Structure 1
Amino acid sequence: MLNLLAISGSLRAASTNSALVAALALNAPEGCRVTVYDGLGRLPIFNPDDEGERTPRDASDLIDAVTGADGIIVSCPEYAHGVPGGLKNALDWLVSRDAAVAKPAMLAHASPRSLYARAALAEIMRTMSFALYDGEPEIALLGKKPPEVASILAEPANVLAMRDALAAFADFIRSR
């Protein structure tokens, strides 16, 4: 059983990125379990002086979750052509740890317009030594209200696309 950790880079209650990672968790293929990380908003601002024995509990929980996962999935909105501060902060807590080194990672997208954030996030994660998977599932949810989002994510073609993307990511992980 592969254990995948899904992280939404959005803190919004009606986030399409959070809806996408939740749908990925619900539609995981056989042999995969996707757990959605929900602690992004509780993380303190990264401070290198607080590493080691001084690492805050919420940051330790994130580090442990990433370390224990076979791979991670990140879905992230774009704010001012960049990665939201909360997600960047979470990644900063991993920088000086081994949690990211060679850890398989897949980006997933809820908007076809987030091109700057995609490139920035991929660059950040490559720099941190994540092993980025080339397949990036995208389901266009931008501007949709929660009932529409739920309906789109439940469409058979999208369910199949999510399962196929996760199965391909699982193959990528197993081949390493």
Structure 2
Amino acid sequence: MKILAISGSLRAASINSMLLRVMAEVAPPGMEVRVYRELGLLPLFNPDLTELPAIVASLRDQLLRAEALVIASPEYAHGVTGAIKNGLDWMVGNESFIGKPVALLNASPRATHAYASLRETITVMSAQVVEAASITLPLLGANLSESAMRADPQICGMLRAALLSLKDAHRSSVSAQAGIA
């Protein structure tokens, strides 16, 4: 199963980005988590463009090829980051999120506004938010390094469980589509 993971943070020491990299490393066998690293390179969304810039088309293609998504974004001023919102805005006019199982990771129990906003945005884009795969980890202020996260059995266990829930949701979706066809 191919999963695309997107961090809404551009910070080099982002907890959200670290969390996604750890998730990629601890993924169960048969699951490949690829962390998207070009979010900060996307141009500002412009609906007047008749042709997608190459980097935007590449993101759309990666989203379409992914069987599921994981998104982790920090909260800035009670909202999602401009970087993740810009990336999502580029995808509104295409089918990249339609019916796609999505797990939302939240690295801070205080980041409820951004989490709710992100959930609302991708739901409007027709994605399937997988509740069992969407988790909040109390990492903000924990001062954990990426290697410490990787070594923490509770964090790794939560990440693996989220991925397995995402896999189950994907299987259910595929089975339902097969039943319709």
TM-score (norm 1): 0.93
Distance in 2 of aligned mates of 1:137 and 1:19: 15
Residue identity matched to 1:103: K
Residue identity matched to 2:131: D
Deviations 1:114-137 (A, max 9, x none): 000011100001001011101212
Match of 1:21 in 2: 20
Q: Contact conserved, 2:103 with 2:162, CA < 8 A, in 1?
A: no
Distance in 2 of aligned mates of 1:165 and 1:117: 20
Deviations 1:99-151 (A, max 9, x none): 1111111101111110000111000010010111012122222134453x531
Q: Give the superposed CA RMSD.
A: 1.2
TM-score (norm 2): 0.91
**2:117 counterpart of 1:120:** yes
Determine which of 85, 101, 104 is the counterpart of 2:101.
Answer: 104
Identity %: 41
Q: Contact conserved, 1:14 with 1:146, CA < 8 A, in 2?
A: no
Determine which of 150, 155, 158 is the counterpart of 2:155.
Answer: 158
| Cα gap change, 1:17 to 1:153, in 2 (>3 Å) | same
Residue identity matched to 2:109: P
Match of 1:33 in 2: 32
Match of 2:4 in 1: 5
Residue identity matched to 1:137: I
Runs of 5+ in structure 1 lacking a partner? none
Deviations 1:29-49 (A, max 9, x none): 112110000010100001112
Equivalent pairs, count = 172
Q: Contact conserved, 2:19 with 2:149, CA < 8 A, in 1?
A: no
Residue identity matched to 1:142: L
Residue identity matched to 2:105: A
Distance in 1 of aligned mates of 2:149 and 2:26: 14
Runs of 5+ in structure 2 lacking a partner? 174-181
Match of 1:45 in 2: 44
